Amino acid sequence: MIEDLKIRNGLHAGIVIIIVGTLMHAMDPRTFLNSYGFLGYVVFLFYMVRSVRQIRKEEGGYITFASAFIAAFVPMTIGVFFYSLFNYAIHNWINPDIIIMIKEVALESAEFAREKMSDFFDVEMTEEEMRSIVEQQDFRLNVGTTLLSWLLTTIMGSIPALIIAAFMRRGEH
């Protein structure tokens, strides 16, 4: 039963993130690019906390740090897997032209960073040099980059899982 709760919360997180991503992409692909990752973390955090709370309730109000960590980590890992698959589908099948928009957003971000670096650190780089660097980047998502992204995001997701476990554990010290 407890294992089911972790998996169910992960599946729910994955389904919600795909629905949110689909709606965002349908409304405005640029907003999707700028906000989908942030909203994904909000969804994942919700289901991580929900999983720990449900399991703690099933265990009579007590949960160890290790159990709380696993209860938060498993749903996040499953949800991030769905997020990664959806991102891959958007970039490769649903809207392959999104690469053009990604490049535009990268150019805008690089220009902003170039201006700030010039202001604060007296770093001189021309707009042409910066544009050349961004243009050389490959923004496509392939299976390898998708798996690497999932792995890195999962590893980074262990940090909020540790924090959630520290705050939500209850039991004998």
Looking at the 3D structure of the chain, how many domains does it have? Answer: 1
Residue 134 lies in a domain: no
Query: Percent of the chain, pLDDT > 70?
Result: 97
pLDDT tens per residue across span 93-144: 999 999 989 988 888 888 888 777 777 776 677 778 777 877 888 888 899 9
Residue 136 lies in a domain: no
Residue 105 lies in a domain: no
Residue 87 lies in a domain: yes
| pLDDT computed for residue 171 by the predictor | 63
pLDDT tens per residue across span 62-73: 999 999 999 999
Domain residues for the domain of 70 are: 2-95+142-168
The arithmetic mean of pLDDT across residues 39-59, rounded, is 95
DSSP conformation class of 92:
I
pTM of the model: 0.85
Q: Which position has the higher pLDDT, 123 or 156?
A: 156
Q: Which position has the higher pLDDT, 138 or 160?
A: 160
Residue 151 lies in a domain: yes
Residue 137 lies in a domain: no
Residue 159 lies in a domain: yes
